[in-house]
Amino acid sequence: MRRVVILSEAKNPLHSALRVNSGRHPLVISQPPGGILPPIHCIGVRMTSEEPALSRAKGLSMTNGGFQSGDQSATLLAAGVSVLISLASLFAGPGRTGSKPAAAARRPESLPAFNGGRAFEDLKRLVAFGPRPPGSKALGESRAWIQSQLKAAGCSVEEDSFTASTPVGEVPMTNIIAKAAGAKPGIIMLAGHYDTLRRADIRFVGANDGGSSAAMLLEFARLYCLRKNPLNIWLVFFDGEEALVNWTATDSLYGSRHLAAKLASDGEIARIQGMILLDMVADKHLNIYKDTNSTTWLTDLIFKTAAKVGYGKEFLDEKSAYGDDHQPFVDDGVAAVDLLGNVGPPTASSSFGAYWHTAEDTVDKCSASSLTVVGRVVVATVAELELASAGRPRPH
Ligand SMILES: [Zn+2]
């Protein structure tokens, strides 16, 4: 991925300056020096340590594996449900960018329980395959293992294979699509890349950058593939996210550009009601910013949901902009959001973190608890999208 611009609302000016100073990839500042930045709307409340209590007061409580309702008084629960449904009505619109929000229905009693510990085991297993650049034997082996896990979880698994023309020649690539059936035609797409950066000079294993997104998707498979879903849930593992030489519009995002074009050509892309992309979400000290290249209403829904469930500390009310696998879908009119974290602490040489695209992107820098944070926020957001869809007529 590439960070292309910072619209900073950072509380610490130094931190902001460091983030502007991008790493390996060229940085484009969209505003001229002295130019006026577009207004930044502050949405939601920065959460504090008291917020989990607030979440409980709204009828949700965190349990070992997820959230359950009903541990507070009926009055509080009713008030909470009302607030949550209002939120869904406000922000959970149909998937096409800019479309109108729909009415929400009854909130489910409990959410599927995302297990960050299990996802962390998957992350370690993926790293054990070694460096996994596109076209490599190790990526093929990891793909076979991913597919075996998906099938064990009860998913229907498809391959989207193609040959990419790259600066290093023709490279075979394969996206993996796991499909969890839904009652309605609409699709919620959860996605991430499973390839790792091609580096001849270092041993790059991509525990966080490539490993975390694939591991998260495997855990989602266990939650959704055997569940009775209101909407279809597609889990998409993109190949070829990373540049093979240097990041450009044509040397990057191979898998997502291919799949978006394919779905657009057969019309299926119109069924996608929301796409949530995950990338680098396992750092022990996780920070996720609001990506300004993502769809605003879905970004707002996710960050409000994060605050509600007590993870405002990780989902920051600060803005940045990313070029990542969501972009081809945004360009085709899909409501899509990139949840992109960090790989180590920010430094002057790398705004994505000290270990980003280095041999230090290893398992010891990652944590199960960060995977849990992101997993629970995504699960809660999926529930909001499902609720919103319940109030919408079936597409023709
Ligand atoms: Zn990367």
Q: Which tens digits make up the pLDDT trace of 256-276?
A: 999 999 999 999 999 999 999
| pLDDT for the residue numbered 304 | 97
Burial 103-112 (b: 16+ CB within 10 A, else e): ebbebeeebb
Residues in CB range of 5: below 8 A, 6 or more apart: 27, 28, 29, 30, 31, 292, 320, 321
DSSP 199-257: -SSS----TTTTHHHHHHHHHHHHHHTTS-EEEEEEEEEES--S-SSS--SSSS-HHHH
How far is Cα 152 from Cα 90, in angstroms, rounded to an integer?
Answer: 38
| pLDDT for the residue numbered 123 | 98
Hey, what CATH topology would domain 116-343+360-390 get? Aminopeptidase (3.40.630)
| Residue carrying the six token digits 């796991």 | 178
Tell me the CA–centroid distance for residue 261 and ligand 1, in Å. 22
How far is Cα 203 from Cα 359, in angstroms, rounded to an integer?
Answer: 6
> Tokens at residue 23, please?
């790493």
Q: Which helix (H) or strand (E) holds 190?
A: strand 182-193
Tell me the CA–centroid distance for residue 275 and ligand 1, in Å. 20
State what percent of residues in the chain have pLDDT above 70: 71
3-state secondary structure of 284: coil
Tell me the CA–centroid distance for residue 197 and ligand 1, in Å. 6
Q: Which helix (H) or strand (E) holds 165?
A: strand 156-166
Q: 134 with 171: CB under 8 angstroms?
A: yes
Tell me the CA–centroid distance for residue 371 and ligand 1, in Å. 18
| pLDDT for the residue numbered 41 | 24
| pLDDT for the residue numbered 350 | 83
Tell me the CA–centroid distance for residue 164 and ligand 1, in Å. 18
Pairing of strands 169-180, 229-238: antiparallel
Q: For the chain, what is the total number of helices (H) and then of strands (E)?
A: 10, 11
| pLDDT for the residue numbered 1 | 60
Query: Domain extents for the chain?
Result: 116-343+360-390
Q: Which residues of the chain have pLDDT under 50?
A: 4-106, 393-396
Q: Which helix (H) or strand (E) holds 79?
A: helix 74-91
Q: 108 with 85: CB under 8 angstroms?
A: no
Indicate the DSSP class of residue 369: H
Tell me the CA–centroid distance for residue 80 and ligand 1, in Å. 39
